[in-house]
Chains A and B, each alone.
Chain A
């Protein structure tokens, strides 16, 4: 699922948030989830499994796009939900369960990004016909069909360049850009997930876009 929004002011949401207009409707929609959470806190395995099924796609989507690896995404999924199971008793309904679980996932992803930055691994590099190195993104399946192989390669080269530019960001900048641009979350929510303020998240996004524009300047031209 892509996020093809190019016009200003429409960089909004795709990933898993219901478009409810009023606070009461949101609260009403969350009521069954709160009941599930309470049951899970009481020890109900079935209730916890229901919560996992509600959020597993979002978690995998985020982890997959950040890490670029199904194996890493699976590890992050496992670790995130095990943590959630272990600490669900500490959940005090001060925020939504969505924000809480995403907070766990983003922290795990940040840890993964920091480890990657240190190790500089998980980049499968191939050479194209002209000898340039590219990231093939072999673990990411692409369901779109292209009749033009050259175009397909160009797309993959571009994707690799984008991935490389994103890799130059700090883990925090990468996370904020990921959550804002690719996951469509609001800056306030991003601030909650990263245990910071909306203003800080905004400044981080600004720095990230500035760096990316610098990195991708030759591509734009």
Chain B
């Protein structure tokens, strides 16, 4: 410690403001420094001298006089108007806000953060709900597709900068239904099966059932079964299905020109000779018809199968030329 610092600390110590450790250090310095010892003595002497100018308690009369004068002055002040109160409150509120800038900033940050987080959470939950409603699940490649057939794949996209690929597809969920052949739902399903099924056996079964219904005398017209049989007769790839469809159309060949034409087409164009031969049998009720006789003439002359040519000639010889 140097003497300049010691002189400052002597003043501080004289008035009880020096910390204990600095006081101890000062005492040590003064023990070894006569000049600073003199300085301290002079300061203490000053303090004694200063007491020659003592602080006096105010006289009671002085206090009373001062108080009365103050009260008179306060009484003379006009009362505050409402706008003065209002402006005072506004200034105080603003000052309070000024006095707590850190608190205000923190409040703003916390509020903004809570708002952003809350919005994010709401958005996420909505997206999750929508995804759940769409019932799209991300299936891991190792799990495989089980329990349902994939009906079609709608999109394929590769995730950027990764080996991950996202495939969006639709699945067919197998269902089973039992019911009577008179049940409209069953009939509708049989109709769909006869038109759209990829399996020939399914088409065969559905057509066979529909034909059996018609033969049993159950209503076929309203359900469009006749049309479905004609379509199957004309276009089905499977000869068994065509044969059943032809069998199912037999009751209608006499009353329905469309059925007769479909059978005539089958007689002329079907690739299976058994179906062409059956078609000749199916046409027996209308074999005297002009269009039928014309087709029989063509088949009798040009069909590749000799049996079919022979049968056609037999039918033509049996029926008179005009009916």
Contact = CB atoms under 8 A, between A and B. Distances in A.
Nearest to A187: B17
B222 interface: no
18 contacts: A2-B55, A3-B55, A8-B16, A8-B40, A11-B15, A11-B47, A15-B55, A70-B62, A73-B62, A78-B70, A92-B95, A187-B17, A202-B11, A203-B8, A205-B11, A212-B50, A213-B43, A216-B46
A77 B74 CA distance: 13
Contacts of B45: 220
Contact of A181 (B15, B23, B73, B88): B15
B320 to A, nearest CB: 127
Contact of A202 (B12, B40, B49, B55): B12
Nearest to A1: B57
A94 B99 contact: yes
Interface in A164-221: 166, 180-183, 186-187, 202-203, 205-206, 209, 212-213, 216, 219-220
Interface in A37-53: 43, 45, 48-49, 52-53
Contacts of B16: 8-12
Which of A8, A11, A159, A220 lies at the interface centre, i.e. has the most chain B CB atoms within 10 A of its CB? A8
Interface string A85-114: 100011010100000000000000000000
A142 interface: yes
Interface string B1-32: 00000011001111111100001000000000
Contact of A216 (B11, B49, B74, B92): B49
A60 B66 contact: yes
A125 interface: no
B66 A159 contact: no
Contacts of B96: 92
A181 B16 CA distance: 11
B51 A206 contact: no
Contacts of A43: 80
A52 B55 CA distance: 21
Contacts of A1: 54-57
Interface of B: 7-8, 11-18, 23, 40, 42-59, 62-63, 65-67, 69-71, 73-74, 77, 80, 88, 91-92, 95-96, 99
A133 interface: no
Interface string A28-66: 000000000000000101001100110011001100110
Nearest to A62: B55
A78 B58 contact: no
Contacts of B73: 78, 82
Interface residues of A, number: 64
A49 to B, nearest CB: 8
Given A56-B67, A92-B92, A205-B11, A142 B47 contact: no
Contact of A220 (B13, B42, B63, B80): B42
Contacts of A159: 52-53
B14 A11 contact: yes
A174 B306 CA distance: 146
A64 B67 contact: no
B58 A57 contact: yes
Given A6-B48, A60-B58, A73-B66, 9 more contacts: A14-B55, A48-B74, A57-B57, A70-B59, A82-B73, A181-B47, A187-B12, A202-B8, A202-B11
B49 A158 contact: yes
Contact of A163 (B14, B53, B91): B53
A166 B53 CA distance: 10
B99 to A, nearest CB: 7
Q: Closest 4 CB pairs between A and B?
A: A11-B15, A60-B58, A158-B52, A162-B53
Given A65-B55, A142-B56, A158-B49, A56 B43 contact: no
A74 interface: yes
A166 B42 CA distance: 17
Given A158-B49, A205-B15, A78 B95 contact: no
Contacts of A52: 67, 70
Nearest to A178: B55
B54 A3 contact: yes
A140 interface: yes
A145 to B, nearest CB: 14
A119 B57 CA distance: 27
Nearest to A76: B66
Interface string A124-160: 0000000000000000111100000000000100110
A112 to B, nearest CB: 15
B14 A8 contact: yes
A123 to B, nearest CB: 14
A5 interface: yes
A12 to B, nearest CB: 5
A23 interface: no
